[in-house]
Amino acid sequence: MVTKKIIVRGKVQGVFYRQSTRNKARELGVKGTVRNLEDGQTVEIYATGTTEQLSALMDWCQVGPPQAVVNAVEVSDEPLKVYDDFSII
């Protein structure tokens, strides 16, 4: 298991990005959190899972839900964090 921090920039607030991320993460078996940042254009995700699970989630983050317009995705390694579920903050 590994943990990644994923920053997604663009039109990702007010388009169900957080809810869709939670649904996709749960579908993949990924645990973690998702939240909007105060700038109005950024979503921050902490995700823990296998390399394969996180790769699938990161691929999905490049596009997001139908209403989203993703301009950039930044991924960084984090120390392992254990979560019970995937939740919206």
pLDDT score of 83: 97
Domains in the chain, please, with CATH? 2-80 (3.30.70.100)
SS3 20: helix
Residues 14-33 pLDDT 10s? 999 999 999 999 999 999 99
Q: How much is the pLDDT for 22? A: 98
Which entry of 22, 23, 35, 36 is annotated as an active-site residue?
A: 36
Asked if 71 is an active-site residue, the reply is: no
Residues near 26 by Cβ (< 8 Å), separated by ≥ 6?
A: 85, 86
User: Using CA atoms, how far apart are residues 54 and 60, in angstroms rounded to an integer?
Assistant: 10
Does residue 36 have an active-site annotation?
A: yes
Work out whether the CA dihedral 9, 5, 31, 36 comes out positive or negative: negative
Please list the ranges in the chain whose pLDDT falls under 50: none
- What was the pLDDT predicted at 81? 97
Sole residue written with tokens 């990005």: 17
Catalytic residue among 18, 22, 23, 35: 18
Q: Distance between CA atoms of 64 and 23, rounded to whole angstroms? A: 11
